[in-house]
């Protein structure tokens, strides 16, 4: 796969899966914009670590529709064209029914959906409008195993990712005639900052044993799937949702 002269935007790109994907695209010749929300130093470190030239970081809170618009305008102004968008940014807030009051319950749902679903949808909107002018492009959304099996105590997360799957397939149908591929990856547990507390706690062995491989995924393994789906080799997979969960959850 060759991404030379390809311009790539990765949301939530300063660490974890996003960082691994940025490195994978850059190694294949792509120019990468890393979107981040808080950690300027982590974003700078990631950009500086990427091989090649033309990479940059752009701060934006995806829960803010205006910030999304400004982010996409910045990316297009800098790159001129946009070939690949990886929607990786997401949050995972606990809100168990038994322990959460109604106000906090509503807050958890709104906060989660604003980032994981509405923010992602808004990025897709601007990306699709640009790619339609080019009659080409790839959008890869990072979903989750939880969209299929459910996410107890994190119900908004599971629902948001189910929404991402439906959005992915709807856009694949709508944008295919414009040469735009829309796909998703659905990881299980991955060794990232988001899962660090669980993977370093008492649940670690139980979580690892969910997979017959006896481990969780590395960010690089998920990134490899993302890069494949963003390549011209995978164009006809548009609408597809690829599981990357080590057979920890199987669906028909």
- Asked whether the beta carbons of 183 and 140 are under 8 A apart, the reply is yes
CA distances from 38 to 10, 61, 167 (A): 15, 8, 27
Side-by-side strand order, sheet with 31-36: 56-59, 31-36, 7-11, 84-87, 137-142, 180-187, 241-244
39-91 confidence digits (pLDDT tens): 999 999 999 999 999 999 999 999 999 999 999 999 999 999 999 999 999 99
Is residue 251 a part of any domain in this protein?
no
- In a domain, residue 2? The reply is no
1 falls within a domain: no
Whole-number Cα distances in Å, 14 to 20, 122, 207? 9, 20, 25
Q: Does the annotation count 157 as an active-site position?
A: yes
Tokens of 131: 């790619």
Q: Evaluate the CA torsion angle 162, 121, 90, 22 in order and state its sign.
A: positive
Q: Which pLDDT score is estimated for 203?
A: 84
CA of residue 232 relative to chain centroid, distance: 19
What is the percent of the chain where pLDDT is above 90? 92
83 within some domain: yes
Residue 151 lies in a domain: yes
Per-residue pLDDT of 175-211, as tens digits, reads 999 999 999 999 999 988 766 776 677 788 888 999 9
Q: Looking at the 3D structure of the chain, how many domains does it have? A: 1
Q: Which domain holds residue 102?
A: 7-244
Model confidence over 206-228: pLDDT tens digits?
Answer: 889 999 999 999 999 999 999 99
Looking up residue 32, the CATH number of its domain turns out to be 3.40.50.720
Q: Is 200 a domain residue?
A: yes
């Amino acid at each position: 796969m060759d991404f030379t002269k390809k311009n790539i935007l990765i949301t939530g790109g300063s660490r974890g899966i996003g960082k691994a994907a940025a490195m994978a695209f850059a190694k294949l010749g792509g120019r990468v914009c890393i979107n981040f929300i808080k950690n300027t130093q982590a974003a700078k470190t990631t950009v500086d670590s990427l091989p090649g030239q033309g990479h940059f970081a752009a701060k934006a809170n995806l829960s803010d529709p205006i910030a999304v618009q400004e982010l996409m305008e910045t990316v297009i102004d800098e790159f001129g064209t946009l070939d690949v968008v990886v929607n990786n940014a997401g949050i995972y807030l606990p809100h168990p029914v038994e322990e959460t009051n109604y106000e906090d319950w509503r807050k958890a749902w709104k906060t989660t959906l604003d980032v994981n679903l509405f923010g992602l949808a808004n990025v897709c909107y601007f990306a699709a409008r640009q790619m339609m002018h080019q009659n080409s492009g790839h959008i890869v959304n990072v979903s989750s195993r939880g969209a299929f099996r459910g996410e107890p105590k994190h119900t908004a997360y599971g629902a948001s990712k189910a929404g991402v799957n439906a959005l992915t397939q709807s856009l694949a149908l709508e944008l295919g005639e414009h040469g735009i591929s829309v796909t998703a990856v659905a990881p299980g547990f991955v060794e990232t900052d988001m899962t660090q507390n669980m993977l370093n706690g008492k649940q670690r062995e139980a979580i690892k044993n969910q997979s017959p491989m006896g481990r969780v995924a590395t960010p690089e393994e998920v990134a490899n799937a993302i890069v494949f789906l963003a390549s011209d080799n995978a164009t006809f997979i548009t609408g597809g949702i690829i599981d990357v969960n080590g057979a920890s959850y199987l669906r028909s």
